[in-house]
């Protein structure tokens, strides 16, 4: 049969006298249960305090990260705004260059700069920065396409400039101009399709533009002659030469020596007969130097 009471003996240190307490069984169970509850409660409080401490540290860390995030986001937004302003300047310069190159303006409008303080909502801030990034990407694509078009146009203009006669082919004085004149051989007025430039025999004749030698031959009227095809419809002819230094198919650059002044063919003295033809039609060479 289980005991109805429990004895608790207390022996103080340094005393011979002991104390004895008796506790009923029901009270013993109650005290044991209370002790268990107390231990669990204290444990729960300790765990809760630890969690609060950890959560507070985590909250502080998250707040610090949020501050850094917002600071970096503002910095990036400022840099994007600066880039966007530069894109506006580039777009304006692009328009000016296109006008100088006689090209039409791009179909898309010039990007407009934006600014102002960021919103307090990080999601709104991020969407604003993303929008600026998309706008800059679009502007970069526009500038790339425009640059390619400009490059092509400028290359064409450079090729045209290189092909267009622009210097006097020989040092000398003009003895006969372009147009109707009295024939030096006494047969009335005739059309003179070029210029006669007098100089000493052997004076070098220079190519007035880049091109390819199309013809080298001796004719009864022009004597030793050279024809250069410069492209874009331009051709030049050089007559009455004493010597020719180029051959058919040879590429020449502006300023290259192609022949020497002479008195071959139908000529009254040493000179160069110089013609410029545009799409097969003789034009006044004076317009090209």
pLDDT in tens, 21-45: 676 777 777 777 888 888 888 888 8
The more confidently predicted of residues 4 and 45 is 45
CA distance 268 to 184: 8
Mean pLDDT of the region 233-262: 97
- For residue 142, CA distances in Å to 106, 110, 120, 137, 222 come to 8, 9, 33, 9, 55
* pLDDT at residue 186, as a whole number: 65
pLDDT band for position 126 (cuts 50, 70, 90) = low
Distance of CA 225 to the CA centre of its chain: 48
Question: CA-to-CA distance for 289 and 282, rounded, in angstroms?
Answer: 16
Q: What is the pLDDT of residue 122?
A: 54
- The tokens of 187 are what? 């047969």
- In tens, the pLDDT along 177-230 reads 999 988 766 677 889 999 999 999 999 999 999 999 999 999 999 999 999 999
Name the pairing type of β-strands 234-244 and 257-261. antiparallel
Mean pLDDT of 129-148: 76
Average pLDDT (5-29) is 69
What's the confidence (pLDDT) of residue 185?
65
Other residues' Cβ atoms within 10 Å of the Cβ of residue 85: 14
Q: Does domain 173-288 bear CATH number 3.40.1260.10?
A: no
Write the pLDDT tens digit of every residue in 73-99: 778 777 777 777 777 777 777 777 777
- pTM recorded for the entire structure: 0.58
| CA pair distance 138, 51, nearest whole angstrom | 50
Q: How confident is the model at residue 115 (pLDDT cuts 50, 70, 90)?
A: very low
The residues facing 278 across adjacent strands are 234, 281
């Amino acid at each position: 049969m289980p005991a109805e009471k429990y004895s608790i003996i207390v022996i103080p240190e340094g005393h011979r006298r002991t104390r004895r307490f008796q506790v009923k069984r029901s009270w013993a169970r109650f005290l044991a249960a209370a002790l268990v509850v107390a231990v669990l409660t204290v444990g729960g409080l300790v765990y809760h305090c630890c969690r609060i401490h950890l959560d507070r540290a985590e909250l502080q860390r998250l707040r610090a990260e949020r501050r850094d995030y917002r600071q970096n986001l503002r910095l990036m937004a400022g840099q994007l705004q600066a880039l966007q302003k530069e894109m506006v300047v580039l777009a304006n310069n692009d328009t000016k260059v296109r006008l100088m190159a006689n090209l039409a303006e791009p179909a898309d409008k010039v990007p407009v700069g934006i600014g102002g303080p960021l919103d307090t909502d990080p999601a709104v801030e991020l969407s604003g920065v993303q929008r600026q990034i998309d706008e800059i990407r679009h502007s970069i694509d526009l500038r790339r396409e425009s640059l390619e078009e400009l490059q092509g146009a400028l290359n064409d203009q450079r090729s045209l400039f290189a092909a267009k006669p622009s210097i006097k082919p020989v040092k000398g004085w003009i003895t006969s101009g372009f147009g109707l004149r009295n024939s030096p051989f006494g047969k009335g007025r005739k059309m003179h399709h070029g210029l006669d430039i007098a100089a000493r025999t052997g004076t070098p004749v220079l190519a007035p533009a880049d091109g390819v030698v199309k013809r080298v031959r001796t004719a009864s009227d022009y004597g030793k002659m050279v024809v250069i095809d410069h492209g874009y419809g331009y051709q030049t002819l050089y007559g009455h030469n004493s010597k020719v230094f180029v051959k058919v198919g040879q590429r020449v650059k502006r300023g290259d020596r192609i022949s020497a002044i002479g008195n071959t063919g139908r000529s009254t003295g040493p000179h160069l007969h110089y013609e410029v033809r545009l799409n097969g039609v003789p034009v006044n060479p004076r317009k090209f130097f």
